[in-house]
Structure 1
Amino acid sequence: MKINARGISYQFADSDGSTKAITVNLSGTEASDYINGSLVITASDLTDGTTLDDLNKTQITTLGLKKMEAYVKATLGEA
């Protein structure tokens, strides 16, 4: 199943305008199966010194997909 980003929104800090969180909406369909999810990416999801302000659409989508996968695996007891 191909899952794509359907929307990305940013939440900014009042103090300095930096990005506090990014919400990515993901959706995919295959035949009669579908999946949708809205996931919030925060600084704690980053591991390589990158900030939320550094991320492009592809990186945000990849982080959202990884987070979605982790939730599904945890729900199935595969984490």
Structure 2
Amino acid sequence: MNLINRSIQYALSAETGNTDSVVVGVYGKSDNLEINGTLTIVADDLDEGTTFDDLSKKQLFALATKKLPTLLPTLAYTNYQFFVQNDTPVRLTAYSDLSNNGSYISLSSTLDQSDFTDKAIESVGYEDVKSAVKTILSQEFPTS
């Protein structure tokens, strides 16, 4: 998935004027996933001896996207809806979100019968949807 940088916000210390954290807006879309998020980068995410002011927009975006594979498995699945054609479910869209220590992610995943190998799409449940989305995420955002 091609991710783009939608925004960068710097949080400055009122006492020192130094950058305390940076919030990076991330967006991406593939055939069956759409992700929109804001990821907070804190000093612990930086290499030792590096400050936020040492980093370019490109480097800050790289730090934000590096966090995605560890955050995505913790998404909460809020709901899913079927799309029906001729009284038969043909696909479904699952909606997920995450709020974790200043990072916020929303994800919509469009699934069809090919994502459910052992049961018909009309009989899938919450755990089936969750598992299918997890499989797609692990392919799009490998952790290694």
TM-score by length of 1: 0.85
- Give runs of ≥4 in structure 1 deviating > 3 Å: none
Work out whether residues 21 and 42 of structure 1, in 8 Å CA contact, stay in contact via their aligned partners in 2. Answer: yes
Structure 2: how far apart are the matches of 1:31 and 1:25?
21
User: Over aligned residue pairs, what C-alpha RMSD do you find?
Assistant: 1.9
Structure 2: how far apart are the matches of 1:70 and 1:21?
19
Give the paired residue count: 77
Q: Does 1:55 align with 2:44?
A: no
Work out whether residues 3 and 26 of structure 1, in 8 Å CA contact, stay in contact via their aligned partners in 2. Answer: yes
Q: Which amino acid aligns with 1:65?
A: T
Task: Provide structure 2 residue ranges, at least 5 long, that are not aligned to the other structure.
Answer: 75-133, 135-141
- Which residue of structure 1 aligns with residue 9 of structure 2? 9
Q: CA deviation at 1:37?
A: 1.3
Work out whether residues 37 and 68 of structure 1, in 8 Å CA contact, stay in contact via their aligned partners in 2. Answer: no
Q: Report which of the two structures shows the higher radius of gyration computed on alpha carbons.
A: 2
Of structures 1 and 2, the one scoring higher in RCO (CA 8 A, sep 6+) is 1
Task: Provide structure 1 residue ranges, at least 5 long, that are not aligned to the other structure.
Answer: none
- Name the SS of the counterpart of 1:34 in structure 2: strand
- Name the SS of the counterpart of 1:36 in structure 2: strand
